[in-house]
Structure 1
Amino acid sequence: MAINNYYQENSAYLESNPSWHIEDSPWKAKQILKMIKKNSLQINSIAEIGCGAGEILNQLQTSLPKNVLFTGFDISPDAIKMAQKRKSQRVSFRQEDMIKSREFFDLLLMIDVFEHVEDYMGFLRACKDKSEYKLFHIPLDASMFMIFRNKLLTMRKSVGHLHYFMKDTALATLSDTGYEIVDHFYTSIILDIPRKSIKSKMGYMPRRLLSLMSEDFAAKTIGGFSLMVLAK
């Protein structure tokens, strides 16, 4: 899936992901709130690069103080068309490259974003001075299970992942592009919200048992984890 598809209306990404992952947004917002609370962040403005359908910001506005303002940026006309249905007095959306904006925010969200970007290190360097804090959610696709089953190409075709990370390479990428890591923790929607299919149920228990022994080991072997990272 070429990155240019995000710029096109009725894109290949929309065809493969018609909901734009709205169904996962409440869970993602919960992880964001967990990091904000854990680090006692005092914020008045939040921006999200790659806001998609805007449901994450819509969820956050119901849980954060009424003085907090939210701005969602996305290059996709399909995404912004969906997001505009969620705008409010506190939440706005723009079909715009946020990197070109001169605005500065307290917190910048990049939730499952830079694995889609061709020049991901250049992108990260360009984002660094846009906010005081940055919060990343990074899929950890590079597990033994994904590699042995040849699933990385599937991720490339279905959801447009161009780069594949494990925890160590994700953190090294942020450090190498000038970020100071403040905090991080694993997330797993598969463990928090088990799917109802037989295949998912069969994979749930081994993943749960391995994660109880060692999340690092579980993420590197059976997979199904992402990494939430707070940085400055």
Structure 2
Amino acid sequence: MNTTIYSDSTYLQKNESWHEEDSPYKVGLVAKILAANDIAFGSIADIGCGAGLTTELMARKYPHVTVHGYDVSPDAAGFWSRRTGENLQYFRTDFASSGRHYDVATCLDVFEHVEDYFGFIRAISRNATYVVFNVPLDMCVLKLLTPGIRRARERVGHLHYFNAYTATETIKDSGLEIVDSFLSNPFFTNLPRNPLQWLLLLPRMMLSLISKRLCSTLLGSHSMVILARQGPAQG
């Protein structure tokens, strides 16, 4: 992980909002998979929380749950002063070495930025009973035929690129047990943000109604939401 771009304003200059606009959608994904599996919890750690709005929204949604945000970026930490909540706290430190254990950890659009993502997943999973991952699925035909992969790398810092299969298998290969997973397509709830997204909106919606997996493979704009817990390999 080239941590320099997250501390010298390089990433911030390219992503001024630090993707705050995606926060309500991400919280909805977390809530959906936890509710679907009847997960009881009293604490949440939001790993790689960035600007911290997702963390704040989770604290509002679960007012009786302790919610902590973790990020190593000083640029991201600059957003945290605007966040409020009696059950909310942020830490600019490495979650894996924090010494704290949580019922649930969320890792939303994070490990694709990390050089040793297998080691990262194993390390964070030791500090939580359950982990909710949201993995953007960059590996699709559209992005292979256009500058999409290049944009994912140069603008938003992705070092690794996944499809539905490799995202799920990565979690398994890291020693975790998959409890539940589903494909998510934000274009049904979030308005397009550029002309290409508007152009692709109708084809994506129509193809997704036939098969989310096929739409993800061909036209992208999906993520894999995964609920996992420590498997036998980790004891």
1:212 matches 2:209 = yes
Determine the structure 2 residue equivalent to 1:35: 33
Q: Are the aligned partners of 2:133 and 2:226 in contact in 1 as well (CA < 8 Å)?
A: yes
Matches within 5 A, 1:163-202: 163-195=160-192, 197-202=194-199
Once the two structures are superposed, what CA deviation does each residue of 1:117-175 show, in whole Å capped at 9, x if it has no partner? 01111111111211000000000000010011132111100000000000100111110
The answer as to whether partners of 1:84 and 1:93 remain within 8 angstroms in 2 is no
- Matches of 1:229 and 1:196, distance apart in 2: 26
Q: Which residue of 2 aligns with 1:160?
A: 157
Structure 2 gap ranges (5+): 230-235
Contact (CA 8 Å) 1:194, 1:204: kept in 2 or not? no
Structural RMSD (CA)? 1.4
Q: What is the percent sequence identity of the aligned residues?
A: 36
In the aligned structure 2, how far is the partner of 1:194 from the partner of 1:75?
31
Task: State the AA in 2 paired with 1:78.
Answer: D
Question: After TM superposition, where is structure 1 displaced by more than 4 Å over at least 4 residues in a row?
Answer: none
Mapped pair 1:93 → 2:90: yes
**Counterpart Cα distance in 2 of 1:226 and 1:39:** 19
Distance 1:79 1:59 in 2: 16
| TM-score when normalising by structure 1 | 0.94
Task: Kindly state the Cα deviation for residue 200 of structure 1 after the two structures are TM-superposed.
Answer: 2.4
Partner of 1:58: 56
Q: Deviations over 1:23-62 (max 9, x none)?
A: 1111111111111111111100000110011111211122
Q: In structure 1, what is the equivalent of residue 232 of structure 2?
A: none
1:79-124 per-position Cα deviation (integer Å, ceiling 9, x unaligned):
1120232143210001101111111000000000000001111111
Written as runs of structure 1 = structure 2, the 5 A alignment for 1:11-26 is 11-26=9-24
Matching residue of 1:123:
120
Distance 2:218 2:121 in 1: 27
